[in-house]
Amino acid sequence: MKTSRYIAAAAVGALAATLAACGGEGAEPDDGVVRLTFRQFDPADQIQGLVQAVDTWNADNPDIQVELETVTPNNPQQFAREANSGSGPDLIHIALADAAFLADPNILLPLDELMTEQPLEDADSLLATDMTILEETTWAIPWTADTMAMVYREDVLADAGVSGTPSDWPEMLDVAGQITDSSGGEVSGFCFAAGAQQQAAQWFAINYYMWNNDFQLIENNGGDWSVGATQDQLAGAIDYFNSFFTEGITPTSMQAITDYADPSVAAGLGDGTCAMTFMPPAAFRAVQEQVDAELLTAPMPGGLDDGSTHLGGRALGINANTEHQDEAWQVVQYLLSAETFETYDQYPASASTITQLDVDPAEQGFVDQLPHSVPFVRYIGAPITIASLQELVNQQFSAVYSGQSDSATAAQAIIDAIERELQG
Amino acid sequence: MTTRRTSLQAYLLSAPALVIVALLFLFPSIYNVILSLQEISPFQGPGDGEWIGLGNFEYVFGNPEFWAIARNTVFWLTALTVLLRIVFGLALAVALHSPVLRRWKVRGLARTLVLIPWMVPQVVAIASWRWLLDGSSGVLNQVLVGSGLTESGVAFLAQTSTVWWSIVAIIVWRELPFVVMVLLAGLQSIPDEQYEAASLDGAGRIRAFRSITVPNLRPVLTVVVLVTVIQTFNNFVYVWLTTGGGPGTYTAVLATELYSMAFFANKLGAGAAIGLVMTMIMAVFAVLYMRATRTEDQ
């Protein structure tokens, strides 16, 4: 009997100890060294330069050691869960479009005080600050910038008698058709990830097309949100992209892929069966390494028109729960410096730092387009999230490509769904 | 006195298990009900939501696509794949139980080979199938085009005529071994004497299958059907990783809709409402399962 009681008591004690351990933070050694965790979400093969930059910081600053933590893909909800429960990394890598979501529940540290005490060197030249400064409070600092540019095979275009990439969307369809026709259908003039999935890359091209034709999905009229496109405009955009499939320019198989750098796109660029596509700089570099052929970049159709392409990128934020605000801010300043970008292969979100970079000539398309790109701020703050818009648009365009719907019906479905969300 | 002490000891001994059950099963279920009655985003902390009564359920059921998504879940994802698994699983189990394999001394090898799909992690299996089914460079298309059966590649995952069948094929391939193994165990428990007696009475193989195998397997089949229904109805990864619900929303199911609602639209409450609806449907099957297994125990 006694033995059984001891066993029961021990079991309860062990359970309590286990649960207590679950809730506790790991103890830091008391050696005077501040240890910070910096969580970033880009794939490991794209951050070798960042790892090098962090190693340099750690070597130069023995009292402030930074541990780089990779959690990929981007998962701001996970950070929110941790921060809401009083934990999480000290420094966090944020997609520009997510800054507003993380600012709202006050889980990011407002940075204005730190910026006053220890000002940033080039604060005035930062890009996309309208995504990170909300209601006059700075919640994050724009760090890297990117956009989508055309990626193409110059030799394949030349074989079709095409001397350069198209400068506008109607020309895009003509040129892509010419390339496919002249190859007897062997070469896809334009290949792009046209999947229905929320992450499908076609979302960017569709928005670029809309913005270049002076309409957008939603618009903010002084805090009153409404649909920003007519049914005809949306149907026109759907018909435009569907033309690539109906005219045989883009293979139907592209309707099942999501990623701009999907292996089938990379393979097509490599063997010359895909003449043109689009992707951001990191994906371009990854594809460049996979293929033997020479790839070049150029601005998207209409990409040199102001506001016709998006300025994406990452920002840096500090967890409101950190016990080392000053040290975290010092690391942020280092990560924003030109020194970091000497090894970190990204474009800085700073107009002044970007000019100090020695850019590969093959990436000239990104460099030419970036000054004309604008953040997705036009969709920020609406009752419908960008992710939901993205999913809705990709699904409805995909429904037309696959013959489930016609363009007018799909356009109306987009409008109805947006109106439903805007009404709450 | 002794009885009371014994009773107290029983409670004490079972307390850790009860606490674990409460923490891991009861609390999440109750919290899900709470979330389904709140307007809350995944960025907000617990307790920051706003109570909105049944608003999330009205929102979910008001979605014009909800019923089509529910039909996909019930018919394509669950009913069809369970049916095919039972049919193919039974056929394979009978084949693996055959004395011929034992005579050829390949029974162990055959049973190991059947288990292979189950050993492959779901994500790896789906990635491999996506590669096989790729519309341009997929192995299946290379065979089809190379053998002259089709002029050009078939975009299996982009066409409405082929996409659901592709997903069904992946699920059946990956999940079939479980059904085979359970049914094989059922077959092995049938006494040989029953077949010998039937044979003496002049029953052929088909008659023996109908009159001995199927009745003996019925309890096992019932449990297998219920377990596979519960496993499949809630499954998220097969559709999500294969098509993401596309083309359009043609292959969307309740689990993918739940994810979209909670993590793209940031409507955690609406996602929880879908989860609750799914739980209630599955509760029916869970009760049936418990009744079936209780009958077996008795």
Question: What pLDDT shows up at residue A123?
Answer: 85
- The answer to whether residue A353 scores a pLDDT higher than 90 is no
Output the furthest CA–CA distance in chain B (Å, rounded): 86
Which region among A297-301, B1-5, B105-109, B183-187 has the lowest average model confidence (pLDDT)?
A: B1-5
Domain at A149-307+376-423, CATH homologous superfamily: Periplasmic binding protein-like II (3.40.190.10)
Is residue B294's pLDDT more than 90? no
pLDDT at A8 over 80: no
A31-58 confidence digits (pLDDT tens): 889 999 999 999 888 899 999 999 999 9
Question: Which chain A residue lies closest to B240 (C-alpha atoms)?
Answer: A197
Contact B248 A1 (CB under 8 A): no
- Mean pLDDT throughout B18-47? 92
Q: Which of B9, B160, B265 sits opposite A4 (nearest CB)?
A: B9
Out of A214-228, B135-149, B259-273, B283-297, which region has the weakest mean confidence (pLDDT)?
Answer: B283-297
Q: How confident is the model at residue A24 (pLDDT cuts 50, 70, 90)?
A: very low
Cα-based angle B283, B288, B293 (whole degrees, multiple of 5): 125
Average pLDDT (A319-337) is 96
Q: Please check whether residue B55 touches A, CB under 8 A.
A: no
B74 at interface of A, judged by CB pairs closer than 8 A = no
Q: B97-114 burial string, b = 16+ CB within 10 Å, else e? A: beeebeeeeebeeebeeb
| One-character DSSP codes across A30-94 | SSS-EEEEEEE-S-GGG-HHHHHHHHHHHHH-TTEEEEEEE--S--HHHHHHHHHTT-S-SEEEE
The percent of residues above 90 in pLDDT, for chain B, comes to 79
SS3 (DSSP) at A272: coil
Q: What is the DSSP string of B55-100?
A: HHHHHHHHSTTHHHHHHIIIIIIIIIHHHHHHHHHHHHHHHHH-HH
Residue A14 pLDDT greater than 70, yes or no: no
Q: Is the pLDDT confidence value at A388 over 50?
A: yes
φ, ψ dihedrals at A224, nearest 5° = -105, 110
Q: Which amino acid belongs to residue A218?
A: I
| Domain A149-307+376-423 in the same topology as domain A32-147+312-361 | yes
Q: Has residue A22 got a pLDDT over 80?
A: no
B43: closest CA of chain A, how far (Å): 5
What integer pLDDT is reported at residue A13 of this predicted model? 57
**Which residues of chain B have a CB within 8 Å of the CB of A398?**
246-248
Query: At residue A355, does pLDDT exceed 80?
Result: no
Residues 16-45 of B with CB under 8 A from A: 16, 19-20, 23, 41-45
Alpha carbon distances (Å) from B143 to A318, B140, B167 = 54, 5, 20
Between B20, B156, B264, which is nearest A387 by CB?
B264
Whole-number pLDDT of residue B3:
67
Residue B17, amino acid: A
Does residue A12 surpass a pLDDT of 70? no
Rounded Cα gap, residues A47 and A53, in angstroms:
10
Cβ distance of B244 and A253 shorter than 8 Å: no
**Angstroms from A185 CA to nearest CA on chain B:** 11
pLDDT for the residue A423: 86
Supply the ipTM of this predicted assembly.
0.87
Q: Which residue in B has a C-alpha nearest to residue A105's C-alpha?
A: B44
Q: What is the pLDDT of residue A1?
A: 45
Residue of B12, B136, B248 with shortest CB distance to A395: B248
Query: So what's the pLDDT on residue A16?
Result: 55
The minimum CA-CA distance between B104 and chain A, rounded to whole Å, is 44
pLDDT, averaged across chain B: 92
Residue A149, pLDDT score: 97
What pLDDT is stored for residue A121 in this prediction? Answer: 83
Q: Which helix (H) or strand (E) holds B166?
A: helix B160-188
| Torsional sign, CA A303, A304, A306, A310 | positive
Determine the pLDDT at residue A105.
Answer: 84
Residues constituting chain B: 298
Give CA angle at B46 (B44, B52), nearest 5°. Answer: 80
Q: Which residues of A are less than 8 Å from B12 in CB distance?
A: 5, 8-9, 12
Distances (CA, A) of A334 to A140, A244, A337, A339, B271: 15, 46, 5, 8, 40
- A-chain residues within 8 Å CB-CB of B151? none
pLDDT tens digit sequence for B90-127: 999 999 998 888 888 898 899 999 999 999 999 999 99
Does pLDDT of A176 surpass 90?
yes
Domain residue spans of chain B? 63-266
Q: In this predicted structure, what is the pLDDT of residue A28?
A: 67
**pLDDT confidence of residue A122:** 80
Instruction: Give the integer Cα–Cα distance in Å for A181 and A162.
Output: 12
Cis peptide before A166 (omega within 30 of 0): no
Residue with the two structure tokens 């000539």 = A361
Name the range with the highest mean pLDDT among A99-103, B34-38, B132-136: B34-38
Instruction: Please state whether beta strands A218-221 and A224-227 pair in parallel, antiparallel, or not at all (unpaired).
Output: antiparallel
Q: How many CB pairs under 8 A join A and B?
A: 146
Q: What average pLDDT does chain A have?
A: 91
Helix pair B214-233, B160-188: axis angle to 10 deg: 140
| Residue A405 CB partners (closer than 8 Å, separation 6+) | A396, A399, A413, B248
Helix and strand tally (H, E) in chain A? 17, 13
In tens, the pLDDT along A187-200 reads 999 999 999 999 99
H or E segment and range at residue A219: strand A218-221
Position A350 scores a pLDDT of 86
Domain A32-147+312-361 has CATH 3.40.190.10: yes
Best of A241, A269, A395, A419 to disrupt the B interface by mutation (most B CBs within 10 Å)?
A395
Give yes or no for residue B249 having a pLDDT over 70: yes
Residue A362 has pLDDT above 60, yes or no: yes
Q: Which residue of B has its CA nearest to A12?
A: B16
Range A279-291 average pLDDT: 93
**Greatest Cα pair distance in chain A:** 93
Inform me whether the C-beta atom of residue B136 falls under 8 Å from chain A C-beta atoms.
Answer: yes
- Which range, of A194-208, A323-337, B91-105, averages the lowest pLDDT? B91-105
pLDDT score, position B2: 59
Residues 6+ positions from A42 with CB-CB distance below 8 Å: A50, A70, A72, A93, A282, A314
* Torsion-angle region of B71 (φ positive above 0: left; ψ -120 to 50: alpha; else: beta): alpha
Q: Which amino acid is at B3?
A: T
Q: Where residue A352 falls among pLDDT bands split at 50, 70, 90? A: confident
Q: Please, what CATH class does the domain formed by B63-266 belong to?
A: mainly alpha
Helix (H, G, I), strand (E, B) or coil at A379: helix
Per-residue pLDDT at A23 exceeds 60: no
Give the pLDDT mean for B235-251.
Answer: 96
Q: Which residue ranges make up each domain of chain A?
A: 32-147+312-361, 149-307+376-423
Closest by Cβ to A4, choosing from B13, B158, B263: B13
